[in-house]
């Protein structure tokens, strides 16, 4: 059972996820790129209730870890610290921000599969990447609400099921897309990316990925 969510990345995406997790009743531990003291003030102001830590401390003390750093910085995270952990990959490859990353651009697979090769001992799950960080907080709705939107999840079945419960508590209907390779169906440029879908609509969009 997930009670504590760790977030690696204290930028806009990580902060929005942290606030959403706190609102959903989770304890939140968060790390920036350096010592915990470097982000203490901003955390107190922007994410009251979250606990700033180092990346290693976040990984060691959390039931689930959210990777919310720019794609070009994912290798700055020590893969050993995430071994055995369920890790949510929220990242997208943005060339204007990330530059030309040959390992992503030249690989026919989805970006999360490339990331999973680096975090080989983690249980990587892709989600939270196809919704804007601002929409994550404004679009959340209780279960059964007629305006509730859905979020796609890709990963191994057991890890995805754990993440699905988190997404549900965040205020969205989780829709399982299939294994991690299915995550390409909701990367930038896909019909899903940036859209607002009900669970039924999202499932219909993801059918080709599930069948692949």
Instruction: Summarize pLDDT for 56-89 with one digit per residue, the tens.
Output: 999 999 999 999 999 999 999 999 999 999 999 9
| Alpha helices, H only, 47-181 | 55-61, 95-98, 102-105, 111-118, 133-138, 157-170
Rounded to an integer, the average pLDDT of 170-199 is 95
Supply the DSSP symbol for 139.
S
Rounded to an integer, the average pLDDT of 172-186 is 96
Give the tens place of pLDDT for each residue, 159-169.
Answer: 999 999 999 99
pLDDT at 99: 85
Average pLDDT, the chain: 94
pLDDT at 107: 87
For residue 118, give Cα distances in angstroms to 30, 70, 102, 111, 162. Answer: 21, 15, 15, 11, 22
Q: Which CATH number is associated with domain 4-211?
A: 3.40.50.720
Strand partners, 153: 176
pLDDT at 23: 97
pLDDT at 60: 96
Give the tens place of pLDDT for each residue, 84-140.
Answer: 999 999 999 988 888 888 888 888 999 999 999 999 999 999 999 999 999 999 999
Rounded to an integer, the average pLDDT of 47-59 is 97
pLDDT at 86: 98
Q: How confident is the model at residue 11 (pLDDT cuts 50, 70, 90)?
A: very high
Domain range annotation of the chain: 4-211
pLDDT at 64: 98
């Amino acid at each position: 059972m997930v009670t504590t969510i760790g977030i690696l990345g204290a930028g806009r995406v990580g902060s929005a996820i942290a606030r959403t997790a706190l609102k959903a009743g989770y304890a939140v531990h968060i790390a920036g790129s350096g010592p915990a003291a470097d982000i203490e003030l901003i955390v107190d102001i922007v994410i009251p209730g979250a606990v700033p830590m180092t990346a290693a401390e976040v990984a060691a003390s959390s039931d689930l870890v959210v990777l919310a750093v720019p794609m070009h910085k994912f290798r700055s995270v020590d893969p050993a610290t995430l071994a055995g952990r369920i890790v949510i990959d929220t990242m997208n490859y943005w060339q204007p921000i990330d530059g030309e990353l040959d390992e992503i651009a030249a690989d026919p697979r989805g970006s999360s599969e490339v990331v999973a090769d680096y975090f080989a001992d983690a249980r990587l799950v892709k989600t939270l990447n196809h919704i804007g960080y601002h929409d994550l907080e404004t679009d959340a709705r209780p279960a059964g609400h007629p305006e509730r939107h859905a979020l796609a999840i890709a990963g191994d079945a057991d890890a995805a099921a754990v993440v699905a419960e988190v997404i549900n508590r965040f205020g969205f209907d989780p829709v399982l897309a299939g294994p991690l390779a299915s995550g390409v169906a909701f990367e930038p440029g896909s019909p899903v990316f940036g859209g607002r879908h009900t669970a039924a609509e999202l499932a219909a969009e993801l059918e080709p990925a599930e069948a692949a």
